[in-house]
Amino acid sequence: MYNIVYIPGDGIGPEVVNAAKRVVDATGVQCNWQEAHAGLATFERTGDPLPEETLAAIRGADASLKGPTATASGGGFRSVNVALRQKLQLYANFRPARTIPGIKSRYDDIDLIVIRENTEGLYSGLEHTVVPGVVESLRVISAKASERIAKFAFDTARRQGRKRVTCVHKANILKLSDGLFLDCCRKVAADYSDIEFDDCIVDAAAMKLVIDPNQFDMLVMENLFGDILSDLTSGLVGGLGVTPSANVGDDAAVFEAVHGTAPDIAGKGLANPTALIQSAVLMLRFLGEKDAADRVDGAIRTVMAEGKRITGDLGGTASTTEFTDAVVAAL
């Protein structure tokens, strides 16, 4: 029996979270589901978008499944996602991009992974006004965090049978900060002689991904570059609505959909739960439930390939419930 925290989030969050829970339960994996809260609705109700009891619940769980969360208009509070990653030291973001049969894209057989450092860079949130009209933001890169994310990438590559890890950087311009990140990746790579290592400047990597994404296998990079390129790779296989995400630390793991809250369709039964169900697949693998994860992954791919019960964003007419029913049936 696994203790799993689930965070419904905002907008379509409760609908896609319920769909993912249904699918996990249908595998036969025994989960004790514990509800926790975060996001805009939580902020409006309690004055805190990320209550301490939610953090404590995540720390005490085997894993957590999170729906999308909104931010107050005009600011109001920092991103819940960023706060979660920093407060829980979820230092590794894992974003696979894999072709799904039945979803149109410009390329076939894409299968790559973006590993993103989750706690530093410009997302450290260290910025201030120098003088009126001039704002300074500090981009923090440390050897400790850089070596830690590089080791996570190589360990993941070895575990998944990947052949090559590419460090994406801008060390030609940011010679100290990205220079440090690249040096740390090279240092770690020396301990993994079974895995090829190379590096690529970030703008060149973006161009190469668009020209031919099969040039890459696994990419590791700092926070902002990872945020941008992981969305780019998601776009290569159908968009944020079908791609999963995992945030992993030494003491906690949160699996989430990275798409928005889509308030315009919230509560209408139109949301596509694929991204969060795929994130639940990553969660099952994290828990060691490989067979259940493979079955869910296969069920999603079967439903997508048939194309009969897919949601409107993918050109179909199925509701959230109808799509989920089809995935459960395919199990």
Whichever domain contains 244, its CATH number is: 3.40.718.10
Same domain, 250 and 282: yes
- Residue 74's pLDDT is what? 57
Distant-in-sequence, close-in-space partners of 258: CB < 8 Å, separation ≥ 6: 68, 95, 230, 231, 234, 240, 243, 245, 275
- Residue 229's pLDDT is what? 98
As a whole number, mean pLDDT of residues 94-122 equals 93
pLDDT tens for 215-241 read 999 999 999 999 999 999 999 999 999
Distant-in-sequence, close-in-space partners of 186: CB < 8 Å, separation ≥ 6: 167, 197, 199
Catalytic residue among 231, 294, 313, 325: 231
The rounded distance, in Å, linking the Cα atoms of 327 and 104 is 20
Reply yes or no on whether the pLDDT at 168 is more than 90. yes
- Residue 171's pLDDT is what? 97
Reply yes or no on whether the pLDDT at 76 is more than 70. no
Same domain, 250 and 320: yes
> What percent of the chain is predicted at pLDDT more than 70?
98
Catalytic residue among 25, 203, 251, 291: 203
Same domain, 265 and 322: yes
User: What are the contacts of 125-133 at 24+ separation with CB within 8 A?
Assistant: 125/78, 125/82
**Among 293, 328, 274, which Cα is nearest to 16's?**
274
As a whole number, mean pLDDT of residues 265-291 equals 97
Same domain, 231 and 254: no
Same domain, 230 and 244: no
Active site residue 170: yes
Q: And the tokens for 42?
A: 């939580």
Q: Which amino acid is at 176?
A: L
**Among 90, 132, 128, 95, which Cα is nearest to 112's?**
95
Same domain, 133 and 151: yes
Answer left, alpha or beta for residue 239, where phi above 0 means left and psi between -120 and 50 means alpha: left
Domain-embedded: residue 326: yes
Domain-embedded: residue 133: yes
Reply yes or no on whether the pLDDT at 73 is more than 90. no
- Residue 77's pLDDT is what? 72
| DSSP letter (8 states) at residue 112 | E
152 burial (CB, 10 Å; 0-12 / 13-18 / 19+) is: buried
Taking each helix axis from N to C terminus, what angle separates 177-189 and 143-160, rounded to the nearest 10 degrees? 40
pLDDT tens for 20-36 read 999 999 999 999 999 99
Domain-embedded: residue 219: yes
Give the range of the structural domain holding residue 202, as residue numbers without chain letter.
Answer: 106-236
- Residue 174's pLDDT is what? 96
Last residue in a domain, options 236, 257, 289: 236
Catalytic residue among 6, 123, 151, 199: 123
Identify the band that residue 254 occupies on the pLDDT scale cut at 50, 70 and 90: very high
Q: And the tokens for 157?
A: 């590559």
176 burial (CB, 10 Å; 0-12 / 13-18 / 19+) is: exposed
Last residue in a domain, options 236, 263, 288: 236
Same domain, 180 and 223: yes
Active site residue 203: yes
Last residue in a domain, options 178, 209, 236: 236
Strands, sheet with 2-7, edge to edge from the N-terminal-most edge strand? 31-35, 2-7, 63-66, 253-257, 244-248, 92-98, 111-117, 218-221, 164-169, 196-201
Same domain, 81 and 115: no
Identify the band that residue 272 occupies on the pLDDT scale cut at 50, 70 and 90: very high
- Residue 323's pLDDT is what? 97
**Among 225, 272, 279, which Cα is nearest to 253's?**
279
Same domain, 114 and 86: no
Same domain, 152 and 58: no
Same domain, 40 and 115: no
Catalytic residue among 10, 178, 199, 227: 227
pLDDT tens for 175-220 read 999 999 999 999 999 999 999 999 999 999 999 999 999 999 999 9
Q: How many domains does the chain have?
A: 2
Active site residue 123: yes
Same domain, 68 and 143: no
As a whole number, mean pLDDT of residues 76-101 equals 91
| pLDDT, averaged across the chain | 95
Reply yes or no on whether the pLDDT at 78 is more than 80. no
CB atoms within 10 A of CB 277: 27
Catalytic residue among 170, 178, 199, 297: 170
Domain-embedded: residue 99: no
- Residue 75's pLDDT is what? 59
Domain-embedded: residue 173: yes
Domain-embedded: residue 331: yes
